[in-house]
Amino acid sequence: MRAILALGVLAMTAGAASAAEPVLLHAAGSLRGALTEASRAFEAQTGLRVTQAYRPSGLIRDAIAGGEKAEVFASANMNHPAALAGAGKAGPVVLFARNELCAFVRPGLDVSAGTLLDRMLDPAVKLGTSTPRADPAGDYAFQVFARAEQIRSGSRAALEAKALQLTGGPTSAPAPQGRNVYGHVLAEGRADLFLAYCTNAGPIAREQPGIRVVRLPEGLAVGADYGLTLMTGASPGAVRLAMFILSPDGQRILASHGFTAPGLPREATN
């Protein structure tokens, strides 16, 4: 309810727009599957069109701050939309989904939750992450390294030094069209072990069935809070899209893609 009320505040100042103009959705790459499905459902329900753009959240924040036109921003963290809100470019930031990090492991590498830290520290193991600051997935990976320091002294510096920032940066090589970037990196041998969102498990399993997913043990586990905001002066259609993402229908779509959906009743998420 508080999420709906927060977006309602911005709805009161929404700009006017023609129904023929598409709603502009900018979203984290990890949301591509879920929000593509949500956008299609929204279009079918309302008759409004949605133009979707998916990139690392930090790069989206920088682009919007630099003047790129946007209406709905769905970020893989709370900080990037909050920065836009603080600059007067966006309204309240609403928590709309949660994720967490997992380790994705190439075929033939023996890794379990119990041996994960040893494998990450092994000089012979190529450890992949996304790019901090540009992509929240990289920031979350470096939070894992900070937690490792509490388990084994010296781990943080060692992991930060060896981490290969292979995705999510402004110059990172993209995956082939329609392919999961983390599965692609592992399949190419550029990393042996990659820290990425657990919601990648399904797409990677379909594309690269030999790659395994390992849940991080409690001492290393890091969660991700996703924030939704509307740009100041967003169209009424953009407000409706944001409301749809927060609605039970939108939240069920997010849950079906592996996200924790805080807007669903507890029994609906089990």
- What angle, 0 to 180 degrees and rounded to 10, lies between the N-to-C axes of helices 79-86 and 57-65? 10
What's the pLDDT score for residue 145?
Answer: 98
Q: Would you identify the CATH topology of the domain 2-98+224-269?
A: D-Maltodextrin-Binding Protein; domain 2 (3.40.190)
Counted residue by residue, the chain has a size of 270
**Domain boundaries 100-215, corresponding CATH code:** 3.40.190.10
% the chain with pLDDT above 90: 88
Are 2-98+224-269 and 100-215 in the same CATH fold?
yes
Task: Inform me whether the pLDDT recorded for 238 exceeds 90.
Answer: yes
- Confirm whether pTM is higher than 0.75: yes
What's the pLDDT score for residue 19?
Answer: 58
Q: pLDDT by residue (tens digit) across 176-209? A: 998 999 999 999 999 999 999 999 999 999 999 9
Domain limits, the chain: 2-98+224-269, 100-215
Give all strands (DSSP E) within the chain, no chain letters: 23-28, 50-55, 72-75, 94-105, 127-130, 164-167, 193-197, 212-215, 223-230
Task: Inform me whether the pLDDT recorded for 5 exceeds 80.
Answer: no
Distance (Å, rounded) from C-alpha 116 to C-alpha 192?
Answer: 12
